[in-house]
Amino acid sequence: MKKDVKKVVLAYSGGLDTSIILKWLQDEYKCEVVTFTADIGQGEELEPARIKALELGIKPENIFIEDLKEEFVRDFVFPMFRANAVYEGEYLLGTSIARPLIAKRQAEIASLVGADGVSHGATGKGNDQVRFELGYYALGDNLTIIAPWREWELNSREKLLAYAEKNGIKIEKKPGKSPYSMDANLLHISYEGLVLENPANAPEKDMWRWTTDPKDAPNESEIIEIGYEKGDPVSINGKRLSPAEILTELNRLGAKHGIGRLDLAENRSVGMKSRGCYETPGGTIMLKAHRAIESITLDRGAAHLKDELMPKYAELIYNGYWWSPERLMLQALIDKSQENVNGWVRVELYKGNVIILGRDSKTDNLFNEAFSTFEEDNVFDQKDANGFIKLNALRFIIGKKAGRKFK
């Protein structure tokens, strides 16, 4: 049974699906629709979304198109990379980390315009419905959530196209547009569908949109230096840049050198497995460089605890719990660990590889050559290791006396 909703804020891209949803909301719910289009670096011209919304009867004051690239990188991507977050050992969470920001801004716009509902175009099979809606519940003020894919019977492309034709919704095929199901933002681009639905099939070579094939990447490597402050990259080759500028430049460099391609069969939050391909050039560089600067600035116990907690942190983001108390608790711990992660990392980029060439911190370096050297030193008495080892072996000694065997 449909709830009575007067005004709905729709996460709107201007594409076929969300244009149909816009019209469907008007017809089925008889409500006023507000469109919200977020620029988080997807690399597409967004002004056509405004024109399309106007053509579908949306009032100019009800069309919101906002540049959120800096907020996206500063408040979502960078905090996640402080944790070195990787889902199931490989995925850098490019789609997962964008949804909390979109949901947050939708809820804010709903409050601003007095809307009592929000809507999205995620399907009932995927992860994004969970990510959006957990955000609405956490941040919204008693909003009705409308998920058309869980309500309507337009469950095939043929039915969607027929609905669009019947209602005069323009269907535009953009030149060079990929036939894959794609999601792009400043951190990554993803591909699903078509031949990828069979994990035994290799991705088609012309599928990749951002990165050079590593085999075709430049034969000359490129060396860059990334500066870090409190765990975040702040400069490239000595030039300070904003968060979005940092990621944009690392994307350019990584894509040029064939860095960041991934082919993954992952476990969706709703239960089934899904095969997707990803390009995350800048993020791949950031992950390797961040671990390098941490290697000399983090205490062993702190570093190991972070590594133990990371899979849980990554899973929370993947499953949509960015706004949960437990993610916020983990973030506070992670951010505390980053207070001394300051310095620089020198990185070589070459045919799909990110190679660490050096790292240093003038203020927070825990690598002490006087202790670590293989040459003669005057600070470490090697005889001290005798008692240390014997204490660690004490449980074995006692166990053997009691008749225990360790094989």
Rounded to two decimals, what is the model's pTM? Answer: 0.93
Spatial separation of the C-alpha atoms in residues 306 and 141, rounded to whole Å: 34
Q: Which residues make up each annotated binding site?
A: 11-19, 38, 91, 96, 121, 123, 127-128, 131, 181, 190, 266, 278
Length of the chain in terms of residues written:
407
Q: What is the pLDDT of residues 295-344, one digit of tens each?
A: 999 999 999 999 999 999 999 999 999 999 999 999 999 999 999 999 99
Provide the pLDDT for residue 371: 66
Choose the CATH number for 181-360 among 1.10.3720.10, 3.90.1260.10, 3.20.20.70, 3.30.230.10: 3.90.1260.10
| Confidence class for position 385, pLDDT limits 50, 70, 90 | confident
User: Please, what's the b/e burial string for 370-398 (b: 16 or more CB within 10 A of its CB; e: otherwise)?
Assistant: eeeeeeeeeeeeeeeeeeeeeeeeeeeee
- Catalytically annotated residues: 17, 99, 128, 181
Domain ranges, ordered by start, for the chain: 7-80+87-166, 181-360
Q: In whole angstroms, how far apart are CA 258 and each of 89, 212, 254, 284? A: 20, 5, 6, 11
Are the C-beta atoms of residues 211 and 219 closer than 8 Å to each other?
A: no
- The owner of tokens 């053509």 is 55
| Confidence class for position 398, pLDDT limits 50, 70, 90 | very high
Q: What is the pLDDT of residues 208-225, one digit of tens each?
A: 999 999 999 999 999 999
Q: What is the pLDDT of residues 56-97, one digit of tens each?
A: 999 999 999 999 999 999 999 999 999 999 999 999 999 999
Phi first, then psi: give them for residue 376, nearest 5 degrees. -65, 140
| Confidence class for position 156, pLDDT limits 50, 70, 90 | confident
Are the C-beta atoms of residues 22 and 46 closer than 8 Å to each other?
A: no
Choose the CATH number for 7-80+87-166 among 3.40.50.720, 3.40.50.620, 3.40.50.10490, 3.40.1550.10: 3.40.50.620
User: Please, what's the b/e burial string for 165-184 (b: 16 or more CB within 10 A of its CB; e: otherwise)?
Assistant: eeeebeeeeeeeeeebebbb
Q: Which residues make up each annotated binding site for L-citrulline?
A: 91, 96, 127, 131, 181, 190, 266, 278
User: Can you list the pairs that 265-271 forms with residues at least 24 positions away whose Cβ atoms lie under 8 Å?
Assistant: 265/199, 266/87, 266/88, 266/91, 267/88, 268/125, 268/126, 268/127, 269/127, 269/130, 269/318, 269/319, 269/320, 270/125, 270/126, 270/127, 270/130
Residue 91 has what DSSP assignment? Answer: B
Q: Which residues make up each annotated binding site for L-aspartate?
A: 123, 127-128
Identical fold, 7-80+87-166 and 181-360: no
Q: Which residues make up each annotated binding site for ATP?
A: 11-19, 38, 121
